[in-house]
Structure 1
Amino acid sequence: MVREGFKTAREGLQDSFPLQLYHKAKKYFWDPQAIDFTVDKASFAQLTPGQKQASLHLASLFVSGEEAVTLDLLPLVQVIAREGRLEEEMYLTTFLVDEAKHVEFFNLLIREVAQEDNLERFHGDNYKRIFYEELPKAMNRLLDDPSPEAQAEAAVTYNMIVEGVLAETGYYAYYRAAEALKEQGVKLPGTLEGVRHVQRDESRHIAYGIYLLSRLLSENPSLWDTVERRMNYLLPYALGVVQDIFRAYPEGFPLKLEMGEFVNYAMGQFQKRYRRLDLARNQNLQEVERIALETAEGEA
């Protein structure tokens, strides 16, 4: 490949939505090593065996999910780079750093607070379908097939389902569990600090995923069938992940959470993403960029 020139020399960086996300990522940089888990470690020791098991169950889904998205992101970065979308690539470099930090945070949480290993026992069939099969398959397809269809399937899997439905529902679970534990005098300041950082990072990731899919749909309106089919295909497995964690405790979830509440929350996240993308397919590229920039101030 012979390069024909450089965008920065020719016209400079464009003040686009992805560049705004890049600036926000720099502004909100954080270090998992700086989180103090002293109180959390003492609190974990106060939990009942069932509460400890449920806490590890939730953490295991996060740490492996974060490892999966870290490992599987690179093909998308390569596709965007080959297309010459410099500002998007710049943001995606921070995206990858974010995912690495999330792995580090949940690893610290498990090893320092719970001092536990071998958590794959918590990975059920629905979880494995998404993280062991569908996510790597969709992302690695981009290595040989950078088509808009392949990009759309990858973004739906990664940003809309894994991050937009499962991760968002997981954060909600952490906050609700912390509320319940606080009633019995158990505090988890380090855990909640890290979860807030992770959620803020991933709100940018989801915003980029919506932007990417909106751009693809604007350029190729016929992609809507691909997007809709992919979202509807993955939804039962995503809801299954949520249901499985509760079904593992037939006598009641030890952290005082109810399955119906979280299934409804997950469905609400799915419907919210679905509506956003349904609107995007009727927008042109200028509208996609304008709407994204107008909402940028509200994004973390």
Structure 2
Amino acid sequence: MTHAAFTTTTHGLRRDLPPMRLFEKAKRYGIWNPSEIDFSQDRRDWLTLAPTEQDILLRLTSMFQAGEEAVTLDLLPLVMVIAQEGRLEEEMFLTTFLWEEAKHTDFFRRFLDEVVQHSGDLSRFHTPNYVALFYQALPAAMNALVTDRSPAAQTRASVTYNMIVEGVLAETGYHAYYTVFNQNGMLPGQVKGIGLLKQDESRHIAYGVYLISRLLAQDAGLWAVVEDTMNELLPLALGVIGDTFACYDPAPFGLTLDMFTDFALGQFQKRMERIERARGATLDQVIAATQAIIEQDSA
């Protein structure tokens, strides 16, 4: 494939587009280095935890670790599709998106290496629901873009990646981390890293909302793809949460299943409402609505 022209030397960049605003935020807030986080107190805290407390934190970390590796591996087909469509502003943001997912993979591995000091196989924590979502559904939806660049395939990929994996399950996991660490005043390095990681993920989810909304504004019929994908994958995401709590009686740190199921469903409903507004909207309306959401987010 050859180039007939270049965006930046024909009409320039559209800095009013949400991906460019996200790109600016990524340049400002996304420059952090997992290698600079001090885990020395975290290691001391870890050694004071009871076996069941260590076990649930190791379980959560193993799911985050594999999940961050999965999204790093599986994002490239979407980047390629966006590039092939000539959407330079979106591709520019997606370069930070991929870099940040790789950085998150590095961050969790440092925690395992330096705090937990565990080098063995952690896949025993990956339940059938987790396997169905991260080992199967996510790569299938993303790799389908290699041969199918249709709006329907893009919609399914983004709902799977941004709305379910990031917007429901990952955010619920971060909520679990924060609940445990903040209430107990421990693992300050992990708290700092998760806080920075949450900022990165908020930009990723905002892009997913924009992408799906843009596609819906162009074809409202894609709402059926959104609903079908959400309805298919939400039970898996909730199943991952349920699987975790089924392993403990009672769960360490006073955690309850309802606390996290309610949080996950709340995130799901919020994202569905935002996306649904794009049905019948114009592209300009989608741009304005997404920009408003981005401006409300401090990072």
Calculate the TM-score normalised by the size of structure 2: 0.97
Contact 1:160/1:206 (CA < 8 Å) preserved in 2? yes
Whole-angstrom distance in 1 between the partners of 2:296 and 2:189: 26
Deviations 1:262-299 (A, max 9, x none): 11111111111111111111311010111222332223
Pairing 1:1-300 to 2, within 5 Å after superposition: 1-15=1-15, 16-28=17-29, 29-116=31-118, 117-182=120-185, 187-249=186-248, 251-299=249-297, 300=299
Contact 1:218/1:282 (CA < 8 Å) preserved in 2? yes
Aligned residues: 295
Q: How far is 1:181 from its partner? A: 2.6
Q: How far is 1:180 from its partner? A: 3.8
Q: How far is 1:179 from its partner? A: 3.3
Whole-angstrom distance in 1 between the partners of 2:291 and 2:163: 20
Q: How far is 1:105 from its partner? A: 0.4
Whole-angstrom distance in 1 between the partners of 2:247 and 2:278: 39
Q: How far is 1:43 from its partner? A: 0.2
Deviations 1:176-206 (A, max 9, x none): 1113433xxxx21100000001110000000
Deviations 1:31-82 (A, max 9, x none): 0001000000000000011111111001001010000000000000000000
Identical aligned residues as a percent: 52
Contact 1:180/1:256 (CA < 8 Å) preserved in 2? no
Residue identity matched to 1:222: G
Whole-angstrom distance in 1 between the partners of 2:172 and 2:33: 24
Whole-angstrom distance in 2 between the partners of 1:281 and 1:101: 35
Whole-angstrom distance in 2 between the partners of 1:170 and 1:2: 44
Greater displacement, 278-287 / 45-54: 278-287
Calculate the TM-score normalised by the size of structure 1: 0.97
Whole-angstrom distance in 2 between the partners of 1:237 and 1:293: 31
Secondary structure (helix, strand or coil) at the match of 1:260 reads helix
Structure 1: runs of 5+ lacking an equivalent: none
Q: How far is 1:83 from its partner? A: 0.1
Whole-angstrom distance in 1 between the partners of 2:182 and 2:205: 26
Cα-Cα RMSD: 0.9
Contact 1:178/1:188 (CA < 8 Å) preserved in 2? yes
Contact 1:54/1:255 (CA < 8 Å) preserved in 2? no
Whole-angstrom distance in 1 between the partners of 2:288 and 2:256: 40
Residue identity matched to 1:27: R
Secondary structure (helix, strand or coil) at the match of 1:177 reads helix
Secondary structure (helix, strand or coil) at the match of 1:2 reads coil
Whole-angstrom distance in 2 between the partners of 1:18 and 1:179: 33
Contact 1:242/1:262 (CA < 8 Å) preserved in 2? yes
Whole-angstrom distance in 2 between the partners of 1:177 and 1:244: 18
Contact 1:163/1:206 (CA < 8 Å) preserved in 2? yes
Whole-angstrom distance in 2 between the partners of 1:134 and 1:213: 18
Residue identity matched to 1:194: G
